[in-house]
Amino acid sequence: MDRPKSFLGTGWSFPPRFDANSARLEMVSDEEDIRQSLIILLSTMPGERPTKPKYGCDLHSLIFEPLTGPTRYLIKDMIRTAVLFFEPRIELEDIELDPSDEAEGIIRVTLHYLIKTVNVRSNIVYPFYKIEGTNVTDVA
């Protein structure tokens, strides 16, 4: 039996896209809505949204920091805190940092999480760019 998952939410696609035929804004639902919401949360600096000044994750404050043990801990702690306060639909199980592309200015952050109520395990990989916004590719 397939349980309805409408409680997981529906929202605008990120980045916002329009359907070429109908000119309507594309929407995402369920697990994809959660995945895109996490990308938005990790990409938003606290204070960036005037109506929700505490919303976001202050990863940008660590851009020029060397990836030492304390910095790894800070990255994971910032993500845990942001998810705890702003993404109630999931339970964060683990955070992995992959610095294999650090020379190119990228640290891949993998979040392993459980979607509450439906008990579906999932993950996303968020590329944390440690360089300027030049030559940055798509997040997905």
Residue 21 lies in a domain: yes
Instruction: List pLDDT tens digits, range 42-88.
Output: 999 999 999 999 999 999 999 889 999 999 999 999 999 999 999 99
Q: Which domain holds residue 80?
A: 6-129
Residue 137 lies in a domain: no
Sign of CA dihedral 55, 61, 67, 70: negative
More confident residue, 5 or 99: 99
CATH, residue 97: 3.10.450.40
Residue 136 lies in a domain: no
Give 105-112 contacts, CB < 8 A, sequence gap 24+.
105/129, 105/130, 105/131, 106/130, 106/131, 107/67, 107/75, 109/42, 109/75, 109/79, 111/38, 111/79, 111/83
Residue 17 lies in a domain: yes
Residue 95 lies in a domain: yes
Indicate the pTM of the whole model: 0.75
Running DSSP on this structure, what letter comes out for residue 31? H
Give the percent of the chain with pLDDT over 70: 80
H or E segment and range at residue 12: strand 10-12
Structural domain count, the chain: 1
More confident residue, 76 or 124: 76
